[in-house]
Structures are given as C-alpha cells and as structure tokens.
Amino acid sequence: MSNLMVGVELLISGLIIVFLVLLFLMYVMKLMSVLFGKQPSEVRISKQPLATISADPGEEELVAVMAVIASLLPKNKQAIVRLKAVE
C-alpha cells in the first residue's frame, strides 16, 4: 500500500511540475512577443469605391489571380486555396 501512495504522490507532483513549467514558458513567449514582435503597420483606408466586375471572369483573369496568390504563399510549401464564385 505504501508503494501505491508513493506512486500517486509522484504522479501528482509530476503533473504539477509540468503544468508550472508550461505556464512559465507561456509567459516567457508572451513577453518575448511583446519585446521583439513586429509592430502592426498602419492600415490605409481608401476613400474610392471598390471596383466591381459585371462580366464573368475570363481564363486570363483567373490565371492572373492564381499568379498573385502563388506569389503570396510561402515558397516550397503546399497550400490549399479555395476560390468561391459570388454571383
């Protein structure tokens, strides 16, 4: 019975130590992101109305959209891009 109590005590103390270490690491990461994180750039709001396209996009326009998306995605990485047609 004594061995069982030692095992339970060791289990609980191990869980508490792991929790405290993870909590400490979480706050260290938050502190590092505050100290070394990038400052958000200013968002420019355009006063011009958005351009709308009344016709269906052609094949050339879809190729252009895919080229822009490909340039924004990380190189040598796989990504899933879903385009939704709004009518």
- 13-37: per-residue pLDDT in tens? 999 999 999 999 999 999 998 888 7
Q: Which residue has the tokens 């502190």?
A: 31
Q: What pTM was computed for the model? A: 0.43
Q: How far apart are CA 65 and CA 59, in angstroms?
A: 10
Model confidence at 11, in pLDDT bands (50, 70, 90)? very high
Q: Which of 40, 39, 37 lies closest to 29, judged by CA?
A: 37
pLDDT tens per residue across span 71-86:
888 777 777 777 776 6
